[in-house]
Amino acid sequence: MAREHSEGAGGSGADTLRIERHHRGSGVHVDIVGEIDAASSGAFSDELLDAAESGSGPIVVNLGNVSFLDSSGLHALVHARESAGPRLRLGTVNPAVRRVLEMTALLGHLGRDDDPTDSS
């Protein structure tokens, strides 16, 4: 399932956030492409909360194709983690986004899907 969220009157597509959800086994992978900012964080948050409410399996959020993440995106991740608990984990993460998550100490709090020793 793919969804696109666009904001702004320019119509250039620069403010488009693409969200794709793929079911894998008992869990779901949520792949995000674009920028997560105040204009798009609502759609991002809604998608994560919907994934959390729609099942009991793991939720892997892939941010490898996210070029920008601001405080509203961080808030959406924290809110989704509060809703889903340790089922919500990060998959791929863009290096720029990783730095933001490290600076805010959220990288360790959210957990990584590729770290089998991390049970947070």
Q: What is the DSSP string of 100-114?
A: HHHHTTHHHHH-BTT
Residues in the chain: 120
Closest Cα partner for 115 from 94, 83, 86? 86
Domain range for 103: 19-110
**Residue 118 placed within a domain:** no
For residue 95, what pLDDT is reported?
Answer: 96
34-70 pLDDT, tens digit per residue, is: 999 999 999 999 999 999 998 889 999 999 999 999 9
How much is the mean pLDDT over the chain? 86
In a domain, 7, yes or no: no
Q: What is the pTM of this model?
A: 0.82
> 13 in a domain, yes or no?
no
> Does residue 106 form part of some domain?
yes
Count of the separate structural domains present in the chain = 1
Query: Residue 11 domain-assigned?
Result: no
CATH for 57: 3.30.750.24
Say if strands 59-69 and 88-93 run parallel, antiparallel, or are unpaired: parallel
